[in-house]
Amino acid sequence: MNKPDLRRTGLTDALGRRISYLRISVTDRCDLRCRYCMAERMTFLPKDQVLTLEEIALLADLFIARGVRKIRLTGGEPLVRRDIVDLVRRIGRHLDEGLDELTLTTNGTRLAQHAEALFDAGVRRINVSLDSRDPERFAHVTRNGDIRPVIEGLAAAKAAGLAVKINMVALKGINEDEILSMLQWCDREGFDLTLIETMPLGETGEDRTDHYLPLTQVVEQLRLHHELLPIAHRTGGPSRYHAVEGMGVRLGLITPLTNNFCADCNRMRMTCEGKIFMCLGHEDHVDLKTAFREGGVDAVQPLIDRALRLKPASHDFRIGGNAPAAAVNRHMSVTGG
């Protein structure tokens, strides 16, 4: 494979937004089946359609050479991918040499086995998806998942020195009465907490309207207990953070439905089969895999330029009324969030 052409730099879309953040889905597979994310029975990609870890690493090299400063590895569940830590080490070599941060989003089920190795490879901060600390609720949301390895994984992450942010999808009638206690628990544990509105991605067999909870309502309820003060803290993604009176925890809000955040989008997403999606809420994409396998980096460069030209101004997520059940056909697990 050719090395990245360093003469060709810069990632700026047609609207002048600087792209500095790449999310890479290393697998579409997951060991849980969260109701808002996946269907109960999923069909996953065959192995020959998935990029090898070496191909992912070489494409990451290219994006870093063109100005990406932060990479997040996602899935599916990234820690189910065999030899994932080898990829983390490979990309981690760029830290302080073009790359500012390498992070990972996980469901935590395999975190206990990998926490120390992730830290040693250069990861300093992770996001862990956890929608309930109640074992029965956790099993319901994840379709029979076991919360115990997740709690063990969180303990291992703390012990390894990883900063942890909990990602909690706010779900009406399921976990809305647990949000305050989750915030309090995160404060005690030294974690941050980000609340997320459910997104209409892929058919899951569930009616998202039944469980859609606007974060405007959540904030109103939390303010009955604590003052929330907007702060300038940013982690590169769409979350907008608040300090919580009397607590050390930072509270993030991701609001794709109630408060569109696309004007300053700095992200692209690459799936495990080498497709670049310019927006989570659109089907438009460019396919790097064939070009890369046939022509290497030089064949990929014009496709990235095309993706930048096609990046839309915003998503169009809607729930309820005449809105379709899913804004796009692909599941969240395919694109990596």
Examine residue 292 and state whether it is found in any structural domain, yes or no: yes
- Residues 224-243: b if buried by 16+ CB within 10 A, e if exposed: eebebeeeeeebbbbbbbbb
Query: pLDDT digits over 22-60, tens only?
Result: 999 999 999 999 888 877 888 888 999 999 999 999 999
Annotated binding-site residue? 269: yes
Examine residue 14 and state whether it is found in any structural domain, yes or no: no
Query: pLDDT digits over 63-79, tens only?
Result: 999 999 999 999 999 99
Q: In which domain, by residue range, is 302 found?
A: 21-335
Annotated binding-site residue? 105: yes
Nearest to 102 by CA among 66, 126, 78, 77: 126
Examine residue 264 and state whether it is found in any structural domain, yes or no: yes
Annotated binding-site residue? 199: yes
Examine residue 10 and state whether it is found in any structural domain, yes or no: no
Examine residue 5 and state whether it is found in any structural domain, yes or no: no
Annotated binding-site residue? 36: yes
- What percent of the residues of the chain are helix, what percent strand, and what percent coil, each to the nearest 5? 35, 20, 45
Annotated binding-site residue? 293: no
Q: Sorting pLDDT into bands at 50, 70 and 90, what band is 212?
A: confident
Q: Domain containing 186 — which CATH number?
A: 3.20.20.70
Examine residue 53 and state whether it is found in any structural domain, yes or no: yes
Annotated binding-site residue? 143: no
Annotated binding-site residue? 9: no
Cα 248 to Cα 48, 76, 159, 192, 251: the distances in Å are: 47, 31, 19, 9, 10
Examine residue 3 and state whether it is found in any structural domain, yes or no: no
Number of domains in the chain: 1
Annotated binding-site residue? 30: yes
Examine residue 6 and state whether it is found in any structural domain, yes or no: no
Q: Mean pLDDT lowest for which of 24-28, 66-70, 239-243, 283-287? A: 283-287
Annotated binding-site residue? 72: yes
Annotated binding-site residue? 37: yes
Annotated binding-site residue? 268: yes
Annotated binding-site residue? 265: yes
Annotated binding-site residue? 165: yes
Query: pLDDT digits over 88-101, tens only?
Result: 999 999 999 999 99
Q: Mean pLDDT lowest for which of 152-156, 194-198, 207-211, 333-337? A: 333-337
